[in-house]
Structure 1
Amino acid sequence: MARFFLLAALLAPISSVYAQCGAGTPNAKVTGSGNSFTASRGSTNLYTGSDYRLAIQTAIDAITSGQRVSVIASGSIGASTLTIQSGKTFEACGTINVALKAGRGAIEVTNASGVKIPYLTMTGNPYFGLRFFGTKDLELGDITFDLSGGMGIRFDRDQAANTNVKMGTINCKRTGSHCVETWNINQLQIGSVIAKNVGECGLLLQKVTNAKVGLVDGDNVAKGNGYATLRFANQAGKLNGGYNTNIFIDRVKSRGGGRGIFCVSESGAAEIGTIDLANNGNNAILLENCYNVNIKGGTVNGGGQVRLAARSEFANSKDIAITLKVDGTDVVESPCTANKTKWKLTGTGKKTICT
């Protein structure tokens, strides 16, 4: 319990260290409404016109590292991309509406360091809401996606890796794909990922090491497919060739949708403090070819099986420890894991496990 409170303190929302959105004297700001927007820096007018995207990008480009731009106005940038450079703080106090630009983010930070986005509310249907790669010391605060499709946050698979990424509260509704998809991050901290009516994963960790996450909360996430409220994949947790514990998740809650927790493709090195899963439409939990996963407590009520499995193309699952109360569904281990799973099970769920 002491570790939980320490981790919760460490993962307090990033935005809590900032003033209220737009407070004080931003170095640049965007104001206006309808078809008239103004970008200004102090008393200098940088742009006035009907192009909301151009007003924002002009304001971003007008500040330097260590400075802040506040977008007070709401509007639509359409199928286009805003780019934020190193050291700049970008806060959206209004609502930014976006449209799909294939393969691109509505807002991008690439090969940059020290960027901060303490506040953002986005609507519309982006390809990616936020897209990142090659970042260092990136900070995201209170980020809200209320979308009609697309993906919330994407760290690219085939681009430069990222170091020291911090997120506060990421809140997603109605993304067609994932709420948060991560690739290639060393040192990741997330306060909360809250996903509702999301098409694929709430939080997807891939090739991520040294991660601390407070809460992953999914409501009707990944319905009808193989994704999950929380998914580890593609060697998440593999560090220096091994799987010593380096990913810590305080709490996972999942209701309905598809899977609750899914670990696959040589991932692991994960400790989950407590879980609360109910009525998941696919496996409540599926650990498949995963190594050193410890679920320390919690409940599974109804829904699909709690299942340990393995595919032939990877080494068998090993070093698994699960402490759970399971009711209204089965617990199945097939094949038996290596190094004998440490089961501590209570509840009425039928057990077909290796002893």
Structure 2
Amino acid sequence: MPSFSALRLPAALVALAYVLAAPLPATAGPGFLSLPGIMMPAANPVPTPEPVTEITASTRVNGNQVSIDWVATGVAVRDQEIYRHTQAELNGRVRIASLSGTARSFTDTNLAPGTYYYSIKVRDTALQVINSNAARAVVAGDNPGDEPTFDAEVFRNGDAWTARNGNNVVYRGGDMLDAMQAAVDSLTPGRTRKETVLVRDSGVVGPHAWDGDVKSVDLPSYTILDVRGTIRVEDSGDDTIVPIRAMRAKAIEIRNLKIEGNPRYGVWIQSSSDVQLGHIQMLLHATRTVGLGIRIDHAKGPRSSKVRLDYARIEGSKHHGVETYGVDDLVIGNVVTVDTGGSGLILNDTSNARVGSVHATRPSVNGGGYAGLRLANNAGPDIRVDQVTVRGGARGVFCVSGSHGITVDRVDIEGTGQQGILIEDCQSVSINGGSVRNSNAEGARIASRTSNEHRPSSNNTLQNLRITDDRRNPAQPYGIRETAAGGTSNNRILNNDLRNAGTVTDLATEAPGTRVSGNRLTGQ
């Protein structure tokens, strides 16, 4: 049975060095003068084709081969390269194919069993380069057509669930989660190598009467869970079902998981290490009280560490889509959220994190001050986010409460009810480029609270941003606003295009020591 891992992947700006080094077509085309390594517009230039803006990539495993499929939005793809690597980061990847601009699939063959990652580099005719993050594939067998390998399996026949380990039936009954737990419990006690439970079918769980604990499948160390069906939670009263939980565990993996209904949390990882989450999808519009997608924390004492999340799509959660609290060494490929009551992705007290992309539609949909990406409660240092895309909702990026040492390389924020970007009581935060459009408060603001609970904002950078409000009735009062109250100081506002950015003014700064340079304002 094929396995799937998907990533929804955004565009990145091309580096100038790459542009200069890129070969030009033999004929630059009407409206352009061609010089070695440079394309210059002549009179009456032809409009630049719409660049590719986003890639969605997926992998399909069939025995010892992996098929990579992708969709590129926009037009005018010029050429493409496929890379294989053994970790989610792009460092150390190996090019395995160069393809024409029309290709949308590729198959990598004769692979040894193991975990692989694939990324795609696309160049469009405007010479913009889009580097994807990594889509994950696990090759389990040696021959095409092999089923995923497993040690115990769970399946449904009518209303009856069966859990089986080899020839031994370890559960037969009507409860999906009980069957899954029985399969997990049947694995080798005290093992030091991972063993796998495969869940073949979909089912409904709940309701659960509160008995002092949530109802869940608890994963011990060295366990792989691969759920090919959908778990639908139909709880009554408070949300008291957490379908998948791990507490003080190590070396656990959830390869595939789809959850619907009203769980308390879809996945809850507590004080665990060496955690791999593959392809996770949740439709949580029915959640009523808590309703959070994925939570990774240190609730059982030690901090969670070495956590990898390849892809998560969370819709309709009552609170956050994905939340971490007390986590070190985190790698996230892609988080996509729609209509979350809280943030799309929120990193609390989390350090050494790499995030490929966050794509949040209407975060904090019911009001409040959350964001597509929120960094809070002393998050940092060493957090880097490649891309944040936000449409609607409360805010785009919100850094608060002592968070520090954070870089966001590119933002694409539009139509937020509050600030597009808010940096409050944070230090050494850099937003390095992208666009903010049509916010109902400041496009970007740097501020400090007067409570003295956290150090005031300082040494933050906003640079290379295009901030504008092009609505018929603009409502964005400032493009960038920095306020001095609370002790804000020593920030950098550099090389931003703020034309038509604010109804009050495009740029306002107050704090001592702030450097302002290279910004373009209305009329310039």
TM-score, with structure 2 as normaliser: 0.63
CA pair 67-157 structure 1, distance change in 2 beyond 3 A: closer
Partner of 1:90: 225
Residues 152-161 or 324-333, more deviating: 152-161
- For 2:251, what is the secondary structure of its paired residue? coil
Q: Does 1:290 align with 2:433?
A: no
Whether contact under 8 Å (1:81, 1:106) holds in the other structure is yes
Give matches, 1:54-93, under 5 Å: 54-64=178-188, 65=191, 66-78=194-206, 79=208, 80-93=215-228
Q: 2:467 aligns with which of 326, 331, 354?
A: 326
Whether contact under 8 Å (1:318, 1:341) holds in the other structure is no
CA pair 98-18 structure 1, distance change in 2 beyond 3 A: farther
Identity %: 31
Give matches, 1:309-320, under 5 Å: 309-312=447-450, 313=452, 314-320=454-460
Q: 1:159 aligns with which of 297, 300, 309?
A: 300
Q: 1:116 & 1:287 partners in 2: Cα distance? A: 35
Give matches, 1:145-294, under 5 Å: 145-147=282-284, 148-149=286-287, 150-156=291-297, 158-160=299-301, 161-223=303-365, 224-238=367-381, 246-294=382-430
Cα deviation digits, residues 151-194 of structure 1 (max 9, x gap): 00112354321110000001101001001110111100000110
- For 1:81, what is the secondary structure of its paired residue? strand
Partner of 1:241: none
Q: 1:216 & 1:266 partners in 2: Cα distance? A: 22
Partner of 1:141: 278
Letter in 1 for 2:358: V
CA pair 37-214 structure 1, distance change in 2 beyond 3 A: same
Residues 24-33 or 288-297, more deviating: 24-33
Q: 1:318 & 1:162 partners in 2: Cα distance? A: 29
Shift of 1:88: 0.4
Shift of 1:6: 3.9
Cα deviation digits, residues 42-85 of structure 1 (max 9, x gap): 22222222222221111111113411001001112223211111
Q: 2:448 & 2:434 partners in 1: Cα distance? A: 24
- For 2:147, what is the secondary structure of its paired residue? coil
Letter in 2 for 1:273: D
Q: 1:352 aligns with which of 508, 518, 521?
A: 508
- For 1:176, what is the secondary structure of its paired residue? coil
Q: 1:12 aligns with which of 134, 138, 153?
A: 134
Q: 1:225 & 1:345 partners in 2: Cα distance? A: 28
Shift of 1:339: 1.9
Give 5+ residue unaligned stretches, structure 2: 1-13, 16-88, 93-117, 120-131, 209-214, 470-475, 511-515, 517-524
Q: 1:155 & 1:226 partners in 2: Cα distance? A: 22
Whether contact under 8 Å (2:345, 2:358) holds in the other structure is yes
- For 1:46, what is the secondary structure of its paired residue? strand
Q: 1:56 & 1:125 partners in 2: Cα distance? A: 19
Shift of 1:261: 0.4
CA pair 123-186 structure 1, distance change in 2 beyond 3 A: same
Instruction: Give the alignment's Cα RMSD to 1 decimal.
Output: 2.3
Whether contact under 8 Å (1:11, 1:190) holds in the other structure is no
- For 1:55, what is the secondary structure of its paired residue? helix
Give 5+ residue unaligned stretches, structure 1: 239-245
Q: 2:432 & 2:186 partners in 1: Cα distance? A: 50
Q: 1:339 aligns with which of 487, 490, 502?
A: 490
Whether contact under 8 Å (1:13, 1:141) holds in the other structure is no
Letter in 1 for 2:295: R
Work out which of the two has the higher radius of gyration on C-alpha atoms and give 1 or 2.
2
Shift of 1:5: 5.0
Cα deviation digits, residues 305-346 of structure 1 (max 9, x gap): 111110022322111111111001322111273223233210
Q: 2:157 & 2:260 partners in 1: Cα distance? A: 16
- For 1:53, what is the secondary structure of its paired residue? helix
CA pair 210-162 structure 1, distance change in 2 beyond 3 A: same
Shift of 1:267: 0.3
Whether contact under 8 Å (1:13, 1:142) holds in the other structure is no
Aligned residue pairs: how many? 346
Cα deviation digits, residues 3-27 of structure 1 (max 9, x gap): x95499595244x23559x933311
Q: 1:187 & 1:290 partners in 2: Cα distance? A: 21
- For 2:419, what is the secondary structure of its paired residue? coil
Residues 204-213 or 98-107, more deviating: 98-107
Q: Higher relative contact order by CA 8 Å / sep ≥ 6: 1 or 2? A: 1
Whether contact under 8 Å (1:33, 1:75) holds in the other structure is no
TM-score, with structure 1 as normaliser: 0.91
Shift of 1:283: 1.1
Whether contact under 8 Å (2:239, 2:262) holds in the other structure is no
Whether contact under 8 Å (1:33, 1:73) holds in the other structure is no
Letter in 2 for 1:145: M
Residues 119-128 or 340-349, more deviating: 340-349
Whether contact under 8 Å (2:248, 2:300) holds in the other structure is no
Residues 58-67 or 94-103, more deviating: 94-103
Shift of 1:102: 5.1
CA pair 186-31 structure 1, distance change in 2 beyond 3 A: same
Partner of 1:243: none
Q: 1:152 & 1:247 partners in 2: Cα distance? A: 22
Q: 1:60 & 1:219 partners in 2: Cα distance? A: 36
Shift of 1:347: 3.4
Q: 1:89 & 1:105 partners in 2: Cα distance? A: 17
Letter in 1 for 2:305: T
Q: Does 1:38 align with 2:194?
A: no
Partner of 2:211: none
